[in-house]
Amino acid sequence: MTLDSLRSPKPRSGRLWLLACTGLCGLLTVPCLQRWDTGISTALRQRQLPGDLAKAIELSEFFAHGFGVCLILASLWWLHRERRGELAKAAILTVAAGGLANGLKLIFTRVRPHADTNADSFDNWFPLFHGSFWDSTHRSFPSGHAATVVALAIGLSTIYPRGKWIFASCAALACLQRIQSGAHYPSDVLTGIAIAFASASLLWPWLHAPPRR
């Protein structure tokens, strides 16, 4: 492989369109999925999973939690000094996607599936103005955990391509955990995933720009 082929914009352009289309398709699917949200959420929460699988799903939240993400990136930063620049960009992508998802919670008010309430899941707009924002049971949409873990998986996959299926599996388990635990509806998680892909498509040209001479 030559230096010119590494600098060719075609692979980056193709991946950019793939990320953008995946994010857009995910966002367009959300309204259709909402009609089945309650049924899917209830079925997954009531389903008895094998002990080891249930434990793996429960522990997978570590990959989507802020503390876990910081620990993973800090460990890689310390162990792989040659890739610190790329790890910094992966961290920026992860923070951007998670921050955007959590920022949208300032607009939408949705009651989490595990909350004991008879109210409509989307019960108001701009929760910060009427106090429900400070009630964590009203911050279901979208899933910040899903956006964070998928963005982390995308970022790490560009640095360590051989581990892409490992990162994708961890992200999938973490997303499943958000539904199975009753923290989010499927459409919340799907929106978080779409946000991660959309963020990656916007940041992709900068993240993978060829180094200047």
Between 140 and 193, the more confident residue is: 193
Q: Rounded to 5 degrees, what are φ and ψ at 161?
A: -60, -30
CB neighbour class for 4 (10 Å; exposed up to 12, middle 13-18, buried from 19): exposed
What pLDDT is recorded for position 149?
A: 94
Range in 104-118, 160-174, 180-194 with the lowest mean pLDDT: 104-118
- pTM (2 d.p.): 0.79
Q: Which long-range contacts (CB under 8 A, 24 or more apart) does 3-8 make?
A: 6/210, 7/210
Q: Which residue has the higher pLDDT, 156 or 140?
A: 156
* Residue 79 near residue 186 (C-beta atoms within 8 A): no
State pLDDT tens for residues 93-128.
Answer: 999 999 988 888 888 777 888 776 555 566 665 556
The reported pLDDT for the residue numbered 116 is 60
Q: Which CATH number fits domain 13-46+61-207: 1.10.3470, 1.20.144, 3.40.50, 1.10.20?
A: 1.20.144
* Residue ranges covered by each domain of the chain: 13-46+61-207
